A = this chain, B = another copy of it.
Amino acid sequence: MLPTIAWKNDKVLMIDQRKLPGEEVFVECSSYICVAEAIEKMVIRGAPAIGVAAAFGVALGVFGLKKDQGLEQEFDRIYQRLEKTRPTAVNLFWALERMKKVFLANSAEGLSRLKQRLLDEAKNIEREDVEANKMIGYWGKDLFQDGETVLTHCNAGALATAGYGTALGVIRAVFESGKKITVYADETRPFLQGARLTCWELVRENIPVVLITDNMSGYLMKKGEISAVITGADRITRNGDAANKIGTYSVAVLAREHGIPFYIAAPMSTVDFELQDGDQIPIEERSPDEVRKISGLCLTIENVEVRNPAFDVTPAEYISAIITEKGVARPPFKSSLAELRMDLQD
């Protein structure tokens, strides 16, 4: 299993995803502020992984407290710092809410017990995420025939989760089932998650992968060289609209234009049933320098004006199916997702 994040000796370890694949180095956090900054700076990224990191961040924050007095106030400070790291992925807020519930249920029982309960819950979130990904793979693998050539955008792999991955989890499950599969990974500018992370993960496991730039997928679809598309998601609204890494929407439009199925793979924790549709999802705009530069190398005129939305929303009408740990939701998603949610609450 790839080492995305781990709790070790009362510290949080994360592989520094900004430096992959060139360097495999770890960031070690002994404070929740360090974890918050790691999320902001994309040491760790990917909706489910951000959720797990935030949960460990909360535990780490409470581990740092020395006395029972003012616990609630301290907890709020930790919660609020982690909450404001990134706005789009709902797993962050979902994980923080789970941690808060455990805090509220145990805050009267003494700091020592509370610490253990919070750490247990963070570890639950981590473990459940891996389990969910395995189930996503289980349900998703039957959507793919032998010999498919599947485009994925960004990295929805082990590195984007606690392990195994969502979109890459499905690809792993297809591969493990013995079917031939070739992955087209688009590089995913500006952060290059496809070129750096998806290629790294797949090459490690000998899953055939071909790297392309983001603007090549239309050409390959028109040539009949892509048979399906699968991506992760950062937030799915109750009607099935899905926010994901910038560029996902363009790929979805191209897929529909060419009659190619477009799948989203995500755990139920990514579905935000509070939101009616994708227009309500906040889209993070990140630093212009992410577009202007790569590893400090300026690609353009210094200070040229830049837009850098980190996500876009793919309307439900472009999505063929949403693969969750509870099963495969098909359109209309409002009812199919609601059914899976009931199943979740059983």
Give residues in A with beta carbon < 8 Å to B: 21-22, 153, 184, 186-190, 192, 195-196, 199-200, 203, 208-220, 222, 246-247, 249-251, 253-254, 257, 291-292, 294-295, 297-301, 304-309, 312
Contacts and interface: CB of A to CB of B under 8 A. Distances in A.
Interface of A is mostly: mixed
Contacts of A295: 297
A222 B278 CA distance: 12
Nearest to A311: B219
A174 B106 CA distance: 67
Nearest to A248: B215
A210 B299 contact: no
B189 A307 contact: no
Contact of A305 (B211, B219, B297, B304): B211
B297 A250 contact: no
Contacts of A305: 208-211
Which of A212, A217, A291, A309: most chain B CB closer than 10 A?
A: A212
A171 to B, nearest CB: 16
B250 A212 contact: no
Which of A208, A215, A308: most chain B CB closer than 10 A?
A: A215
Contact of A195 (B188, B215, B299): B299
Given A196-B299, A210-B306, A218 B247 contact: yes
Nearest to A213: B189
6 contacts: A190-B213, A211-B292, A211-B305, A212-B306, A216-B307, A253-B254
A88 B295 CA distance: 33
A237 to B, nearest CB: 16
A312 to B, nearest CB: 4
A246 B291 contact: no
B220 A307 contact: yes
Contacts of A217: 250
Given A22-B298, A211-B292, A304-B203, A312 B192 contact: no
A249 B294 contact: no
A222 B312 contact: yes
Nearest to A195: B300
A249 B221 CA distance: 11
Contacts of A301: 21, 199-200, 203
Contacts of A219: 246-247, 249-250, 309, 312
A250 B215 contact: yes
Contacts of A309: 216, 219
Contacts of A199: 300-301, 304
A94 to B, nearest CB: 25
A93 to B, nearest CB: 23
Nearest to A249: B218
